[in-house]
Amino acid sequence: MLTKDDFLAARERIRDHIVLTPLQGASSLSQMLGMDVFIKNETFQKTGAFKYRGVMNTLLSTTKEELVAGVITASSGNHGKALATAASEREIAATVVLPSTAPLIKIQALQHVHARIFFSEPQRRLQLAEKIAKEEGLLFIHPFNDLRVIAGQSTIGLEILEQYPEVERIVVPMGGGGLITGIASAVKTFRPEVEMVGAETLNVPKFTYNLHRDVLAPTPEKPSAADAIVSNMPGTHTIEGVRRYVDRIVDVTEENILLALKILVESEQVLCEPSSAVVLGAMLQEEFSPKKTVLVISGGNIDPDNLLGLIRRTSL
């Protein structure tokens, strides 16, 4: 896994290329939950989500020779948008394999930066991207199971420790696990006493399903409003990171994800994806002791009409 030097090197490598996102006090949530709550808001990051960090660290860690033919990835949208944007800035050709269920806003974002797009069944997109990479000699950049990507995401953890030295708990969304593995491994390296909590959708509980398995297996799944975190199997690096550094996992119901989304939008004016709201959903669903808590809001790439429709489906 990654070391202290890896985390610090990633921060220095990408410092001038990313946004130092704000850590915001959440007074309504603090009152509701009975503890001090802050929000690390990655909706302010370039491309509207945390993914730009991992992509940028990977591109800056890669030789020009490896990039000459172009890059490719598979994504639910945010990783692809980040890669295509960063590649376009460096005049590198980018290809993205999207799930057939990708929302229009994420397709349009890729078209805006002239990415080549393929569509696939949601749980087959990684295999298709790897096949195209092999056939065309492209550099495949995994959306979560790549140590360079994970090191880039770790910079969020370093920023939280600097912005809020008193933090006692950090709650992070879990898709493929690159985000929580990066944040948790960095935070535990410097502050091992900080409680790390992962929140995933109950409809695709790939980490609880695989946590104690010797061989990783696809998770039985159902559709989820949290479309950005529905990868049905963790990676080898991310399952190791979660086993080693994450103290608690909450599998959040659709009802609590949508309730959390409504609260974040209406009480804290945080416009985010349901995949981000899962962190507050975890806090609503289970009992937590009072601690100084940071909720990581991972992205905000959602169509406003879609967001409004999801909120209207929920009543407090």
Spell out the SS3 assignment of 8-37. HHHHHHHCCCCCCCCEEECHHHHHHHCCCE
Which pLDDT score is estimated for 103? 85
Which pLDDT score is estimated for 49? 97
Contact criterion met (CB below 8 Å) for 230 and 224: yes
Task: Report the Cα 199 to chain-centroid distance in Å.
Answer: 11
Q: Is the pLDDT of residue 106 over 70?
A: yes
Q: Is the pLDDT of residue 99 over 80?
A: yes
Q: Is the pLDDT of residue 316 over 60?
A: no
Token pair 């659709």: residue: 254
Which pLDDT score is estimated for 104? 87
Q: What is the CA radius of gyration of the chain?
A: 18
Of all residues in the chain, what percent carry a pLDDT higher than 90?
A: 90
Which pLDDT score is estimated for 315? 61
Mean pLDDT of 229-243: 96
Mean pLDDT of 33-56: 98
How far is it, in rounded angstroms, from Cα 274 to Cα 260? Answer: 8
> What would the pLDDT profile of 151-196 be if each residue is shown by its tens digit?
999 999 999 999 999 999 999 999 999 999 999 999 999 999 999 9
Average per-residue pLDDT for the chain: 95
Cβ-Cβ contacts under 8 Å for 229 (sequence gap 6 or more):
76, 173, 174, 175, 200, 201, 204, 275, 278
Which pLDDT score is estimated for 77? 82
List domains and CATH numbers for the chain.
4-50+146-312 (3.40.50.1100), 52-140 (3.40.50.1100)
Q: If pLDDT is split at 50, 70 and 90, which confidence band does 130 have?
A: very high
> What would the pLDDT profile of 271-311 be if each residue is shown by its tens digit?
999 999 999 999 999 999 999 999 999 999 998 999 999 99
Q: If pLDDT is split at 50, 70 and 90, which confidence band does 221 have?
A: confident
Which pLDDT score is estimated for 214? 95
How far is it, in rounded angstroms, from Cα 62 to Cα 36? Answer: 41
pTM for the full predicted model: 0.95
